[in-house]
Amino acid sequence: MNEQTTTISPFTLHVPDESLTALADRLAQTRWPLEDAGTGWDHGVPVDYAKSLVQYWATEFDWRAQERRINAVPQFTTPIDGHDVHFFHVRSDHGGATPLLLLHGWPGAPTEFLPMIDALVDPASHSGTSEDAFDVVIATIPGFGISGPAVGWNTERAAAAMAALMARLGYERYAVHGYDTGALIGRAMGLIDREHLLGLHLTDVLGGEELTPETADFSDPREARAVERSMRYQYELGGYAMVQATRPQSLGLALTDSPVGLLTWLVERFKDWSAAEDSPEEVFTRDDMLTTVSIYWHFATIWSSMRYYKEGATGWGVEPEKSETPLAIVAMPHDLGSAVPRTVEGANNLVRWEELATGGHFAGWEQPDLMVQDIRAAVQVLNAG
C-alpha cells in the first residue's frame, strides 16, 4: 500500500472458497463440553442452543447469498493512516442531501446499517420528503471486520481517520450517527473536526459521569432506571469488558482460533444487550447474526477489535473534555446505557434527547425504521441550530 496515495478504490466482498471450507471443517470437529440441562442464559450461551446454531452455520447458512446482498451496495477502500479503510457509500439523487456517516460498535459490523440506506437516500419513497435526504457513508472501523486487523488504534485515532475519510469524499459539512464504539468515535470527531461537523446523533455518551444510588434522583424514572442498568452491568454483564480491557490478547488468541468460541462470545452480547428476553432470535435472524460473526471470523478481526477496550481503559472514569458540537441523543429502552440528560449536559452541547418505545443496544440493527425517523428529526434540529 502506498502511504501517500489518496485513491478511493472500488471493493467487492469475496471470501475465498478455502476459508469457507476451513470453517466448515472446524465446525464439524467441534469438541463440546458436558451439557448441564439445568443451566440457562444466566451461565452464558446454553450448550444446546450453541449446538443448534453451529449446525445451522455449518449446513444451512449461505454466506455467498450474504455476499450478494452486501455487494449490492457500492463499497470502497482508501488508505488512511497506514490502513485500508473499508466503507459503503451511496449518494442521494435529491439535491442538497445531508452527508451522514454511520458508525457501528462492538461487536457489530457496518452491514447492520444496510436496511436503513434506501429510506435515508430516497426519503420521498419511504414516508419522508426530499428535505430528509442523506448521502450515506457507512465505515468499517479500523481493526474491525472488512477493514481487516489493525493494532495501535484507539477511538481518537479512528476519529481522525473518519474525519479524513469524509474530507476525502468532499464533504464540507456532515452529521454522524453512532452507537457503542461508534459513539465514542463520533464524540471524538466532534472535538477534532468541529468546523465540519453539523452535529452528532448518538445512542449514548460513554465514559462520562456515572450515576450511583447516592447521586441519583429516584423520583426521576430515567435516573432510577439508569442506576438499575448500571448495577446490572457492573455485577452481571460487565465481565467481558474487564477481560477485554485488561487481557485481550489471551482471549483474542482463543477466539481467533475457535469459530464456536467466537460465535458464543458474540451471540451472548446480541442476546444480553438487545431487546431479546429468552433468545436473541426474538430480535435478530440467524442469518443476520451469522453474517456478523462470519465477518469477524473470515477477516480475523476479533482480537484487534477488542483491543479498543484495552486502549481506552485508561480513560474510564476520567472527566471527558468539553464538546461544543451539537449532540442529539436517542435513548433505547433496552440498552445498557446509564447516562441521563443531566450527566450528559455538563460536558456536551445537548440539543435533543429522545427516548424510543422499543429497541436495545444495536439500535439501527434492531429498529431500522425507527432509527431513520429519529435521524431525520434530529438532523432537522441540528440544521435549525
Positions marked active-site:
180, 309, 361
Q: How far apart are CA 202 and CA 217, in angstroms?
A: 24
Q: How far apart are CA 249 and CA 121, in angstroms?
A: 40
- Which runs of consecutive H residues, i.e. helices, occur in 76-154? 117-121
Q: How far apart are CA 212 and CA 2, in angstroms?
A: 50
DSSP H or E stretch at residue 275: none
Q: How far apart are CA 200 and CA 104, in angstroms?
A: 14
Q: Could you give the C-alpha distances from 197 to 40, 126, 175, 247, in angstroms and in order?
A: 45, 26, 6, 35
All cell numbers assigned to 19: 476459508
Contact 191, 325 (CB under 8 A): yes
User: Across 54-141, where does the E strand assignment appear?
Assistant: 75-80, 83-90, 98-103, 134-139
All cell numbers assigned to 329: 441523543
Q: Is the dihedral of CA 27, 33, 35, 36 positive or negative?
A: negative
